[in-house]
Chain A
Amino acid sequence: MMNKPVHLFLVSLLIVFGALTTYFQTYNLDLGYQLMIYVAGFITIATGFIFFRKDTVHFKFMYPGLLTFLIFMVIPIFFSLYVSFTNLSTGHFLSENQVKSLMLEERHLVDDSKVVTFKLYKGVDNYLISTPTLDGLSLFNIDNDTEVNLVSSKDLNENDFKELSTKEIFSIREKLRNISFLTRDDIKLSYYRVSKLAQLNPTFVTNSKGELINTKTSQVFTPNSETGYFTSSDGKTKLAPGYYVNVGLKNFYSIFKNETIKSSFLKVCLWTLIWGVSSVFLSFSAGMFLAIFLNDKNLKLKPVYRSLLIIPYSIPFFISVLIFKGMLNKDFGIINEFISSMGFEKVSWLGDPIMAKVSALLVNLWLGFPYMFLLITGILQSIPASVYDAAKLDGAGVWRTFKSITLPLIMSSIAPLLIGSFAFNLNNFVGIYLLTGGGPPIPGAVTPVGETDILISYTYRLAFEGAGGQDFGLASTISLFIFLIISILTLINFRLSNMTKEEA
């Protein structure tokens, strides 16, 4: 795509950006900021490169389409790669510095301090605080004032102001926390909780080594870069929340070594494979059967039949899947109503491990066969009739003609599309998630995983709806695994379809 010096130049710029982000990580930047540094970097480099050089007309044309692609496809992949080496998960969403400043903001009551009740009123551009027990009444500006003297001011009358509800006070608590209220005895009171002021001390202080020291117990908490927690010296106490740390290959290990994760992961892999192969095989067979059956010169209504048969494909997937979910409902669904009206027992279509798989495959067959039907119809129409006439003359029967002529011809042109369809089904999130939600759950699994979960729905559930918390680290690792499989399939696909050869 580019010549050597330019290549080197770009790589070195990227390294500089890599170094910069690592550097920024030691500052109080969250992941979003770091990510945006990469984005800004990419845009700068790309734009500079393209508009700086003169022999890059083709890049100027490529630029718009590539830019969005880089930002919203390539960067997220790199980000996933990065996350797969971290323990980013529930309890570890913040950076070390964010956790530290969170801890440093923590306050506790000074032992003998009294808790004072306050009321808050809103004026036109200022607030009025009233502490009846201290006979204090003061006006203050919430944005600018840092210290407010709680002295009684006889000129003020609460009734001229509008009292704030606890909910309203709660909504401005962050600002109130920054203000110290001084009593007549010069005691500093701070916002303690809704409608309460009290004398507060910081719970933690930090030292030059970056440790946190509890001011009450003088316990020292050292940051542990392996577990992602501030941990006490005896290792018994950890401060929550933790922060994200680089855990190396731990996520990769846990897929292959951790017995509980490994067993459900392998189970999901196996089912994903069965799901992909069966989905393609079923819809291919059904589509081929229908296409051959309808490929009949004497069928007058052929166009009408064909249009009717592809209706399922024309409906958005999520709609069809949701409709089937309702129809397959165990207690009320029309299918079970029908079965029980015939005198049979109701079937737990989506609740039984085996039936749920069968249901998912059948629904996917309904969704997918029209595509194959359309493709194969197209192929059949391109086979000249003379081929069949010759076969007939040689005395080949229906089955023989199909086996030796029709099937090989179909296969030769449809093979890449079958692989494409396989790749699509491996990632067919909607077909599983909206129908069964991955369920029924596999008993005894530690991660949220069900009998019908395929890799992609498993990842989704790990990342976004884990009952025990979200685990982006593990989810990213599995998604890279999926990406690898899909890439290989796509590569094979392109080799098969000779797409690259044809343009050379």
Chain B
Amino acid sequence: MSDSFENQKYMMKRLAKNLAIISLIFIVLLPVMYIVSISVNPTGSIGSKMIPDSLTLNHWYYILGIPYTDTHTGQVVKSSFPILKWFFNSIKISMITSILMLALSTTSAYALSRFKFKGRNTSILALMIIQMFPNIMAMVAFYLMLDFLGKIVPGLGTDSHGGLILVYLGGTPFNIWLIKGYFDSIPKSIEESARLDGCSRFQTFYKIILPLSTPILAVVGLLTFINTFSDFILPSILLKSQDNFTFAVGIQIFISESFSSRWGQFAAACILGALPISVIFFSIHKYIISGLSAGASKG
């Protein structure tokens, strides 16, 4: 008798806990659900209700640049903002940056991991500190440098994707540090036997270390992709013409011009922009966290 009462009490406690967590999650995710609902809400204004009376795909047509018939005016509308283009600009810039970033940082990471030289630890520390310099203030220098570079190489000036990518490539240190950590965990004996077999330094690096490091290369590449895609500061200062905007800059200008009337289209655009990043994030978040806390938990 008392046993089943205890059991019942236990069950109630668990139910209460689950309910508490679910309601917490509900509150946390309210903004996300709200945006999803707004993106298919025909009124789509900034103060629209949580649950729409009817559904529409017009906001989606708008951001994808597909003509549609407006429900209020009955006219055929086509977006004058190249939102989809901004999105693909961002994807393009982030992809190229990731690939080049990997190419640039792996060799440096290899040097820091495999070569013993004086001041190695100090240089790692220096790299990490210097890279903390606020990007925003380097902007004047970036601007002047790209302005000059653009006169020599047209694709690398201000208001060009090439120039923007070039500036991003300055951010190698953090990636070097991440990749170096992984290289450190690969036993040196593998390389040593290859070296005995007559492989050069570069060959061991290229043919042995790199293939063994695909997981970290994938993580660093995707991390760079996320960070580049999400960056707002650099493109907002370097890019000037609307067609060149990245998603972050374009969408900020799009919504800031008129918060009240573009809310529905903005909501759809948010989902478009957030979805790929969220998917990538969930595919690698375990590595991100273990990578970040690795140094900490060892100490």
Binds A, one of B51-59, B141-149, B215-223: B141-149
Within 8 A of A (CB), among B201-257: 201, 205, 226, 229-230, 232-233, 237, 248, 251-252, 255
Name the residue in A66, A88, A491, A502 with the highest tally of chain B Cβ atoms < 10 Å from its Cβ: A66
Segment among B1-9, B67-75, B171-179, B188-196 that sits at the interface with chain A: B171-179
Residues in A with CB closer than 8 Å to B237 are 464
Chain B CB within 8 A of A486 CB: yes
Once A332-B46, A434-B232 are accepted as A-B contacts, the answer to whether A77 and B144 lie under 8 Å apart by CB is no
The size class of the interface chain B forms with chain A is 35 or more
Known: A76-B142, A414-B296. A58 touches B248 (CB 8 A): no
Residue among B32, B132, B278 with the highest chain A CB neighbour number at 10 A: B132
A491 proximity list for chain B (CB < 8 A): 125, 129
Whether A319 sits at the interface, judged by CB under 8 Å, is yes
CB pair B172 A65 closer than 8 Å: yes
Taking the closest CB of chain A, its distance from the CB of B298, in whole angstroms, is 6
Interface presence of B136 (CB below 8 A): yes
B34 within 8 A of A: yes
Cβ-defined contact, A68 with B170, below 8 A: yes
Q: Which residues of A contact B66 (CB under 8 A)?
A: none
- CB within 8 Å of A: which B251-272 residues: 251-252, 255, 259-260, 263, 266-267, 270
Task: Pick from A164-172, A231-239, A249-257, A298-306 the stretch touching chain B.
Answer: A298-306
Q: Is residue A148 contacting chain B, with contact meaning CB distance below 8 A? A: no
- In contact, B124 and A500 (Cβ under 8 angstroms): yes
B76 CB within 8 Å of chain A: no
Specify which chain B residues have a CB less than 8 angstroms from the CB of A416 in the assembled complex.
295-296, 299
Q: Tell me whether A217 is interfacial, beta carbon within 8 Å.
A: no
Chain B CB within 8 A of A311 CB: yes
- B79 touches A (CB below 8 Å): no
- Complex Cα distance, B293 from A415, in Å, reads 10
A58 contacts B117, C-beta separation under 8 Å: yes
A482–B229 Cα distance when bound, in Å, is 25
Residues of A within 8 Å of B107, CB to CB, are 61-65
Check B166 for interface membership: any CB of A closer than 8 A: yes
Q: Of A18-26, A274-282, A289-297, which stretch is located at the interface?
A: A289-297
Alpha-carbon separation in the docked complex, A354 to B161 (Å): 40
Of B104, B205, B297, the residue contacting A65 (CB under 8 A) is: B104
Q: Looking at the complex, which one of A63, A322, A334, A502 makes contact with B299 (CB distance below 8 Å)?
A: A502
Q: A62–B112 contact, CB under 8 A?
A: yes
A244-276 interface code vs B (CB 8 A; 1 in, 0 out): 000000000000000000000000000000000
- Supposing A1-B122, A313-B281, A318-B230 touch, asked if A327 and B31 sit within 8 A by C-beta, the answer is yes
A58:B111 contact, CB within 8 angstroms? yes
Distance of A159 from chain B, by nearest CB (Å): 38
In the docked arrangement, what's the CA distance between A459 and B134, Å? 10
Count residues on chain A whose CB falls below 8 Å from chain B CBs. Answer: 109
Q: Contact check, A73 vs B170: say whether CB atoms are below 8 A apart.
A: yes
- The reply to whether A308 and B29 contact each other, CB–CB distance below 8 Å, is yes
**A residues in contact with B139, CB < 8 Å:** 463-464
Residues of chain B lying within 8 A (CB to CB) of residue A293: 17, 20-21
The interface bits of chain B over 18-36 (1 if a CB of A lies within 8 angstroms of the residue's CB, else 0) are 1011001100110110110
Q: Is the interface of B mostly helix, strand, loop or mixed?
A: helix
Q: Is the Cβ of B21 less than 8 Å from the Cβ of A294?
A: yes
Which residues from B are CB-within-8-Å of A382? 297
Q: Which of B137, B170, B278 contacts A80 (CB 8 A)?
A: B137
The stretch of A28-36, A100-108, A115-123, A128-136 in contact with B is A28-36
Q: Is the CB of A413 within 8 A of B134?
A: no
Among A179-187, A218-226, A373-381, the stretch that binds chain B is: A373-381
Interface status of B127 (Cβ within 8 A of chain A): yes
Choose among B50, B170, B298 the residue that contacts A498 (Cβ–Cβ < 8 A): B298
| C-alpha gap A349/B237 in the complex (Å) | 28
Chain B residue numbers with a CB within 8 Å of A308 are 25, 28-29
Determine whether the beta carbon of A75 is less than 8 Å from that of B141. Answer: yes
Q: Which of A398-441 contact B (CB under 8 A)?
A: 413-417, 423, 427, 429-430, 434
B56 to chain A: closest CB distance in Å? Answer: 19
Residues on the B chain within 8 Å of A490, using CB: 128-129, 132
Interface-facing stretch out of A192-200, A208-216, A472-480: A472-480
Q: In the complex where A305-B21, A309-B25 touch, is A483 in contact with B299 (Cβ < 8 A)?
A: no
* A positions within 8 Å CB-CB of B: 1-3, 30-33, 35-36, 39, 57-66, 68-69, 71-77, 79-80, 83, 88, 290, 293-294, 296, 298-299, 301, 305, 307-320, 322-327, 329, 332-334, 336-337, 366, 374-375, 378-379, 382, 413-417, 423, 427, 429-430, 434, 456, 459-460, 463-464, 472, 475-476, 479-480, 482-483, 486-487, 490-491, 494, 496-504
Q: A79-B140, A326-B263, A378-B289 are in contact. List 7 more A-B contacts (CB 8 A).
A: A59-B111, A65-B108, A69-B131, A73-B133, A479-B136, A483-B134, A483-B137
Chain B residues close to A by CB (< 8 Å): 14, 17-18, 20-21, 24-25, 28-29, 31-32, 34-35, 45-48, 50, 103-105, 107-112, 115, 117-119, 121-125, 127-134, 136-142, 144-145, 147-149, 166-167, 169-173, 176, 184, 201, 205, 226, 229-230, 232-233, 237, 248, 251-252, 255, 259-260, 263, 266-267, 270, 273-274, 277-278, 281-282, 285, 289-290, 292-293, 295-299
